[in-house]
């Protein structure tokens, strides 16, 4: 399946000042598949090493960290020479070997001619112990997310439609189809194994089984790799996300994880979840000035799951509930839609925030788009009103703003086209007068 990050990997390959690359990403988001495909398509050879299952590889790094000696020994081990610029070297699950992580520093300094990529689902929580250290400043970094809705459409054979949408063409005649695909995406999500199985078999029960296995794998990772005392707390935070998002005020409240726990009890556990890529924090900004990061309140935040399909499965929402769109689902549909929109925007902008006034008006997201702070209001179905966005626009008079819903009408961007936000803001800019009421 096509992953859009392939273009970024090609750019990395062609850089004159290329450094070893670290590819991060949550478990099962497709890192290994992507890197192997990249190597097979753009190199003559791929040397692949997986550190969590083949403990013998780590012995190569125990002697010393001289990069030329390491490549000679790895070549001998595979009975095939690793050639600079011709062989892509992949260190998978590199967090299982701190020496291999540290060696990237010396590859950058002494052997930049080798093309080396280290990948791992838990690199964010790796804490190398002396004499080893993380190669800060000596590596390029990329983060792979689960498949976006755009990638989901491409996987389902809609690449021509995606191209038309990317180019700003008219897609109004396909709105019903796109809504149906978005509904499926809420059910399946963007985990590549689940998407691939759906494309090949169209069996939602099989998809549910795959998502259940992925969630079980996350729990197993936590129990195996997290500090022993933090496991119950990490598990409790993770499983509380649907309940936290279902509240009218979605601010994460530590005591709702467990009544006896407070922030100081759960901070380390929350850090672990975020660094492992399983959850994303959305921090409050009350003063929407640039840079938004400087005005963010780290103590006031919401938590979202890394994938909308996993969020659905974690919440126990049956696929039939979403497909039937029953009244019982109406309330939680807003939470699902926000989780979807958050993941789409994070994939595009990286850091995003939300705004809340003292009198409870709240704009779902704030993004920095070039020189603008753009407020984004999300509606799960039709946009009957957008009072919070209107209030924000009247107060701050932003140059650009966005209302997104399932409707396709003038001045708004449909949820199923949210990935085109940058082009949309450039071409249309959104309303600026602050009157979003319909």
d(CA 29, CA 19): 23
CATH numbers and ranges of domains, the chain: 6-143 (3.40.50.300), 149-427 (no CATH)
pLDDT digits 0-9 by tens, 284-337: 999 999 999 999 999 999 999 999 999 999 999 999 998 876 667 777 899 999
pLDDT at 428 over 80: no
Q: What is the pLDDT of residue 431?
A: 57
Rounded average pLDDT over 186-208: 98
The residue ranking higher by pLDDT, 245 or 45, is 45
Angle between helices 175-188 and 330-349 (to 10 degrees): 90
pLDDT at 197 over 60: yes
Q: What is the pLDDT of residue 437?
A: 44
The residue ranking higher by pLDDT, 323 or 7, is 7
- Rounded to two decimals, the pTM is 0.94
Rounded average pLDDT over 12-31: 96
Q: What is the pLDDT of residue 325?
A: 67
Task: Tell me the percentage of the chain whose pLDDT exceeds 90.
Answer: 80
Q: What is the pLDDT of residue 414?
A: 97
pLDDT digits 0-9 by tens, 341-388: 999 999 999 999 999 998 779 999 999 999 999 999 999 988 777 899
Q: What is the pLDDT of residue 122?
A: 87
Residue 40 banded pLDDT, cuts 50, 70, 90: very high
Residue 247 banded pLDDT, cuts 50, 70, 90: confident
Instruction: Indicate the range of 81-85, 252-256, 279-283 predicted with least confidence.
Output: 252-256
Residue 433 banded pLDDT, cuts 50, 70, 90: very low
- Residue 296, token pair as written in the block: 């963010």
């Amino acid at each position: 399946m096509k992953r859009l990050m392939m273009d970024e990997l090609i750019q990395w390959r062609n850089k004159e000042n290329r450094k070893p690359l670290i590819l991060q990403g949550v478990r099962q988001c497709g890192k290994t598949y992507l890197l192997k495909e990249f190597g097979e398509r753009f190199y003559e050879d791929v040397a692949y090493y997986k550190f969590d299952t083949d403990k013998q590889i780590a012995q190569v790094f125990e002697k010393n960290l001289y990069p030329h000696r390491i490549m000679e020994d790895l070549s001998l081990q595979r009975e095939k020479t690793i050639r600079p610029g011709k062989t892509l070297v992949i260190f998978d699950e590199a967090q299982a070997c701190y020496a291999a992580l540290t060696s990237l520093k010396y590859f950058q300094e002494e052997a930049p001619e080798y093309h080396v990529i280290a990948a791992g689902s838990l690199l964010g929580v790796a804490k190398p112990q002396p004499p080893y250290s993380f190669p800060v400043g000596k590596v390029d970094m990329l983060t792979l997310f689960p498949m976006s809705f755009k990638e989901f459409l491409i996987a389902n054979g809609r690449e021509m439609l995606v191209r038309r949408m990317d180019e700003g063409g008219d897609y109004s005649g396909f709105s019903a189809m796109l809504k149906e695909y978005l509904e499926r995406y809420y059910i399946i999500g963007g985990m590549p194994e689940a998407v691939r199985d759906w494309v090949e078999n169209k069996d939602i029960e099989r998809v549910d089984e795959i998502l259940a296995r992925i969630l079980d794998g996350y729990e197993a990772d936590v129990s195996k790799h997290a500090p022993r005392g933090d496991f119950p707390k990490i598990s409790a935070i993770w499983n509380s996300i649907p309940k936290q998002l279902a509240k009218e005020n979605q601010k994460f409240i530590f005591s709702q994880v467990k009544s006896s726990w407070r922030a100081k009890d759960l901070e380390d556990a929350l850090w672990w979840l975020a660094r492992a890529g399983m959850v994303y924090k959305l921090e409050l900004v009350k003063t929407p000035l640039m840079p938004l990061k400087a005005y963010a309140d780290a103590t006031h935040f919401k938590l979202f799951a890394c994938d909308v399909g996993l969020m659905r499965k974690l919440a126990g929402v049956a696929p039939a509930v979403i497909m039937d769109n029953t009244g019982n689902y109406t309330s939680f549909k807003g939470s699902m839609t926000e989780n979807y929109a958050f993941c789409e925007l994070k994939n595009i902008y990286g850091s995003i925030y939300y705004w809340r006034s003292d009198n409870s008006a709240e704009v779902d997201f704030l993004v920095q788009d070039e020189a603008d702070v753009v407020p984004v209001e999300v509606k799960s179905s039709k946009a009957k009103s957008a009072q919070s966005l209107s209030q924000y626009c009247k107060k701050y008079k932003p140059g650009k703003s966005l209302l997104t819903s399932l409707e396709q009408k003038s001045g708004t961007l449909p949820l199923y086209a949210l990935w085109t936000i940058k082009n949309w803001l450039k071409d249309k800019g959104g309303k600026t007068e602050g009157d979003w009421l319909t």
